[in-house]
Amino acid sequence: MTTAYQNLGEFIQALRQAGELLEIKAPVSTHLEITQITDLASKSPGGGKALLFRNVQDSRFPVLTNAFGSDRRICLALGVPSLDALAGRLQKFVQMEPPKSLSDTFRLLPMGMDILNIIPRKLKRKAPCQEVVYRGNQVDLSRLPVLTCWPQDGGPFITLPVVITRSLTTARRNAGMYRMQVFDDQTTGMHWHIHKDGSHYYQEYLKARQRMPVAVAIGTDPATTYAATAPLPRGLDEIAFAGFIRRKPVPMVRCLTVDLEVPAEAEFVLEGYVEPNELRIEGPFGDHTGYYSLVDKYPVFHVTALTHRRSAVYHATVVGRPPMEDCYLAKASERIFLPLLKTVMPEIADFWMPWEGVFHNVTVIAINKEYPGHARRVMSAIWGQGQMSFCKIAVLVDADVDLSRPDQVFSTILNELDVETDLYITEGVLDVLDHSAPEPMFGGKLGIDATRRVAGERPRHAPEYPASEPSPDDIERAVKEVSNLFTAAYAPGLQTHNRILLLNFHKDGRATGRQLAGKLLTHPDLAAFSIILLCDDGIDLKNSSHVLWKAFNNVDPKRDIVKKNRRVVIDASKKGREDDHHRPWPDDIVMDQEVVEGVKKRASELGIEEFLPH
């Protein structure tokens, strides 16, 4: 496998040779249409193919999407046979021991090369990213085929930018990925979340009342693009990490109008600055959670120069309800950074972030349990560990549980769980995109201990069920006796100690899930179920992925979980004022039906028949 693509063009050629690229020559629009086509590919079996749109309306530049959107393509992008192979390299690097003898020094030679490769080098020839240059009033962002992805988006967004900044106090570089809404021909938003390095550096300039130089590279080599998304510890250079992945230094070039360096082989570069205290309304944006992130004020990026290759390709990603391309980028981080997590907590054997949890909402952690309360200790440690601190639900299982088999994971949880003793509810910091908590960025957290008991821990109590589950008709009658607001019921029929009942809940302001929970838990004909989950009306209760997505995203553990007599009701419905939730609740991302039908009619012309749902 190629270990270092010099640029995006080389990666596109590798995709083509591997049969992983679909080139679409029919005309397409950046307004919703490319998104719909990409979404169909992303959600087709195996992630479809990378898409190269050759004929983009109102732009001379092709658009590449879904380039990382499969297990095979993410490995191809990073030049490895498997993500675990790259994780193994990183583990050896992190755990490197000093040589014990002269002959033992040869053992470290490969590590020495890795160290040399992480040091970016300055390009000595003319940079490809500066073959075409526009400065000052010549800058016109409408030249770029920036996508308007979803119907309620506040405008077009640059979705795959490598945003380069430098600390005012330490001079350390950050290369992060922050979406950028195009406001006009020469300004964009700069969506810095408070926990990101770019935001920390912005705060330094804000305190000093100084203009902050910023550069943005679009369409870098795949290792550099991935590195900008990686959850590195604060202060570590993403460009250096890209060099480690590539096994080759990233060539850099000085910008023309700001004192920063950018990847010399990028397709496009935006140079400019952010003024302290200048904020503008940004959003909404159809985000990777599957919901629209809310409107808020963010810094403004002023573009002083736009440069690009003569034959540039605009690289974009589309995010929304999983699975989509970003799921595979997150999977890469999950695998690659396991060794770093294990250096802090050696008892961790593995971890898994289900796609339905949209990366920050749930993490399943397999541990080598050694003593009473060990699982609870790991929960607390995870919630205090870097970006893992934003995890809302931490699930602990034993090391012999295969996290690559979701069925085994969920069976283990449902068989081991004692609702009374194994659900640990607390409060803490949350991701800014979590909409379920009553307050922004702070709310309930849930720890689930599904590890086996060891000596010194109190024994679990298995649920005391009736001999058999009630029939579907009896279930429907029982839930109707509780409330006519329950419109459908489904019992998955899992052969586990804890049985689950799923209910559609038609909320009209008359009652909340919490108010009805007690009646559900005391109705004698529902005693067969120890876990009752409420979903909004219209949710397909037999679609387990959709139900889990709603459960992980719509639940604030402190408010929405009601326990009684070793049974629990979990309210995963949309919340409003009757639930004492006074923040706006975002809409699900749904494409305009006219666009859906238009793409469907053009499927043959576009060459995407294989992606259409059967």
What is the phi/psi pair of residue 381, to 5°?
A: -65, -40
Percent of the chain whose pLDDT exceeds 70: 95
Distance CA 601, CA 128 (A): 40
**Residue ranges, CATH 2.30.110.10, the chain:** 8-81+118-315
**Residue ranges, CATH 3.40.1670.10, the chain:** 326-449, 472-579
Q: Look at 116 and 13; give whichever has higher pLDDT.
A: 13
Distance CA 217, CA 207 (A): 27
Tell me how far apart the 2 most distant CA atoms of the chain are, in Å: 80
Average pLDDT over residues 521-532: 94
Confidence of residue 107 (pLDDT cuts 50, 70, 90): very low
Amino acid at 524: P
Per-residue pLDDT at 3: 61
Bridge partners (DSSP) of residue 549 are: none
Confidence of residue 114 (pLDDT cuts 50, 70, 90): low
Topology adopted by domain 326-449: UbiD C-terminal domain-like (3.40.1670)
pLDDT tens digit string along 205-245? 999 999 999 999 999 999 999 999 998 887 789 999 999 99
Please check the confidence at residue 388 and state whether its pLDDT lies above 50: yes
Bridge partners (DSSP) of residue 65 are: 51
Q: For the chain, what is the mean pLDDT? A: 92
Average pLDDT over residues 371-386: 93
**Closest among 215, 133, 129 to 178, alpha carbons compared:** 215
**Residue 125 CB contacts under 8 Å (≥ 6 apart), including other chains:** none
Alpha helix positions (H), 322-418: 325-336, 338-344, 374-382, 406-416
Please check the confidence at residue 109 and state whether its pLDDT lies above 70: no
Overall pTM > 0.75: yes
Query: How many CB atoms sit inside 10 A of residue 342's CB?
Result: 17
Average pLDDT over residues 334-361: 91
Would you state the structure tokens that stand for residue 15, as one six-digit string?
């995709």
**Closest among 195, 261, 258, 265 to 223, alpha carbons compared:** 265
- Catalogue the active-site residues: 287
Alpha helix positions (H), 53-122: 71-78, 83-94, 109-117
Comparing 73-87, 105-119, 178-192, 371-385, which segment has the lowest mean pLDDT? 105-119
Distance CA 299, CA 293 (A): 17
Amino acid at 352: W
**Four-point Cα dihedral 14, 20, 25, 29, nearest 10:** -110
Confidence of residue 491 (pLDDT cuts 50, 70, 90): very high
Amino acid at 199: S
CATH number of 472-579: 3.40.1670.10
Q: What is the DSSP string of 252-266?
A: EEE-SSSS-EEETT-
* Homologous superfamily of the 8-81+118-315 domain (CATH): Electron Transport, Fmn-binding Protein; Chain A (2.30.110.10)
Please check the confidence at residue 97 and state whether its pLDDT lies above 60: no
Strand arrangement of the beta sheet that strand 251-254 belongs to: 121-122, 251-254, 261-263
What is the phi/psi pair of residue 176, to 5°?
A: -115, 170
Please check the confidence at residue 106 and state whether its pLDDT lies above 50: no
Q: Are 50 and 67 in contact (CB under 8 A)?
A: yes
Distance CA 184, CA 186 (A): 6
- SS3 (DSSP) at 459: coil
Average pLDDT over residues 162-174: 95
The verdict on whether omega for the bond into residue 323 sits within 30 degrees of 0, i.e. cis, is yes
Amino acid at 54: R
pLDDT tens digit string along 318-333? 999 999 999 999 999 9
- 């490319």: which residue's tokens? 34
**How many whole angstroms from its chain centre is CA 580?**
28
